[in-house]
Amino acid sequence: MAENLYKNLGLREIFGVEKLQEIQDAFVATTGFAAVFADNNGNRITRASGECRLCTRLIKGTEKGLSKCIESDRLFNFKPHGTNVQIRKCLGSGLIDAVVWIKLFNRPIGKWCIGQIMDAADDIEKMLDYADEIGVDREEYRKALDEVTKLSMPQIENICRYLDVSAQMLSDMAEANIRNRLELRRREKAERELEESHEYYKLLYTSMMNGYAVHEMIYDDEGKPINYRFIDINPAFEKLTGQRREDVIGKTILEISPNIEELWLERYGKVQKTGEPVNFTSYSADLERFYEVYAFRPQEGSFATIFNDVTEKMEAQEKVHQKQRLDSIGTLAGGVAHEINNPINGIINYGQLILDSGECNDENRDYVNEIIRESERISSIVRSLLQFSRYDSQNHSLARVEDIVNNAVTLTRTILRTDQTRINVTMQKNMHPIKCRSNQIQQVLINLLINARDSLNIKYPGYDENKVISLDCREIEEDGFSWLRITIEDKGTGIPKNIQSKVFEPFFTTKSKHDGTGLGLSISHGIITDHKGRLTLKSVEGMYTRFFVDLPIDNGWEL
């Protein structure tokens, strides 16, 4: 394990003193903080940068002041616990100090210490009292204090958050470079480029796995964020978004993604305005991907984003939620099916008693036979519901698909004729029989035929020559397997693209509450999946809808 092989390495061995010094000096030049890298025991690795005259000459120039500084520094020599960033005031001068730990495989390997910054809200006169305490001229102490950089606590905290992100990046880089030789060679190449260019951000940009971008927000006359411009991006940005650097830098987001959701602009505008970082996950319609984003303000006038593509993670979560929804509807379906079974059996039995009584004339006998036939069909659907809910397991057998199709068409032909809808059926000859639960497959076909009929009725309320349902059945070869494909097509209203992915969800329906429950397609999808098949669709709104029922010729079931 890489964790064990490199357990004795520290900051000095992994990055080298020179590189750490460059990173440290760049940070000092940007923020005005004093800074130094140290090992786990508090021993300095780099040469301290940006130290103020107040601390180095006046305070540490006295025995009492030096003693107080040593005591204050000792309190920072601890192992991280809880938050990775610690901020506090010096016990003597009252200036702000902070430390962030850098880790390798969750093991501290050193720390980045910063400080000697004054909280702009502090009382200077009270701070001058320390000069009297350690025996330094009060006026000389005041002059030295005026030279110290002054920031508000929110600004200091934001820089410390940025420091924490930078430290985490250094930790990630160290782990990645150690895990394999390729990553080590990449790190060495990045270090050579860093020596040539002296650009601190290049190390972070080129090595991190997350996308990173710096932006400039654009506001309207009323101060509302309406756009932002790309100032810089890293290679991971290009990989995660598919957008090339030369097509992005200097462009605005509305030039690149005209349909960007306003929510993104509002969030980023708030970050740049308030300086408060945000972390969120959102969907980009233009890129058709989910991204987890951390946005912060590294300095006034700009904001930066660190992001990662979490589309696969979100899709996996959605599959879990879909299964939970199907489990729930399965429980409900089982309960409803049991409640329906008893009265349906009663209707069938009473109908048979009427036939057996011999008191029916021919016309009434036909009505009773139709009642029994339709009740038996309902009973078959109930059995399918029970199977869907896992409460019942209908036997499967070898069946001719021609018979299944003909039975489904026969049961729906009357209602289709009433609506002036024609159905054209084409079937390949001599198709192989399939192993299936024939009543369930018949139920799926009936449901698809009724849906096609409803769509045609909406588009063509009366007679129309295009009011036709096409049903085609044939064998196909795909992915090295033999399939039986049943295609049902109508030229009705079609299904909008934005809801096509939802049509197989339980209770999802585009019909009114009086016309549909939203269960038909979800149950049908469950039946076909249980048969190791596929139920898919292709539709263009306003033109057509085409459902494909694909069943394997041999699904592996034993008869």
- Phi first, then psi: what are they for 215, rounded to 5°? -130, 160
- Residues 174-191 have a mean pLDDT of 66
Domain containing residue 79: 2-151
Do 487 and 434 fall within a single domain? yes
Q: Which CATH number belongs to the domain containing residue 543 in this structure?
A: 3.30.565.10
Do 134 and 26 fall within a single domain? yes
If 0-12 CB within 10 Å is exposed, 13-18 middle and 19+ buried, where does residue 279 land? exposed
Closest Cα partner for 115 from 81, 91, 142? Answer: 91
Checking phi first, is residue 282 left (phi over 0); if not, alpha (psi -120 to 50) or beta?
beta
Do 466 and 480 fall within a single domain? yes
395-449 residue pLDDT tens: 678 889 999 998 888 878 878 888 899 999 999 999 999 989 888 898 899 889 9
Q: Which of 309, 325, 346 is the last residue of a domain?
A: 309
pTM above 0.95, yes or no: no
The pLDDT assigned to 286 comes to 75
Q: Which CATH number belongs to the domain containing residue 55 in this structure?
A: 3.30.450
User: Domains in the chain: how many in total?
Assistant: 4
**Which helix H or strand E contains 107, and what residues bound it?**
strand 107-119
Given a contact cutoff of 8 angstroms between Cβ atoms, the answer to whether 216 and 231 are in contact is: yes
What token pair was written down for 24?
Answer: 């440290």
Place of tokens 């005041």: 142
- Phi first, then psi: what are they for 229, rounded to 5°? -110, 145
Closest Cα partner for 145 from 126, 159, 172, 164? Answer: 126
Do 545 and 510 fall within a single domain? yes
- Phi first, then psi: what are they for 252, rounded to 5°? -95, 160
Choice between 289 and 469, residue whose per-residue pLDDT is larger: 469
Do 413 and 529 fall within a single domain? yes
Do 381 and 402 fall within a single domain? no
* % of the chain with per-residue pLDDT over 70: 84
* % of the chain with per-residue pLDDT over 90: 21
Do 277 and 352 fall within a single domain? no
Q: Is 179 inside any structural domain?
A: no
Q: Is 412 inside any structural domain?
A: yes
Please give the mean pLDDT across all residues of the chain: 82
80-127 residue pLDDT tens: 555 678 888 888 888 998 888 888 878 888 889 998 899 989 888 888
What does each C-alpha distance from 475 to 404, 490, 549 come to in angstroms?
15, 21, 11
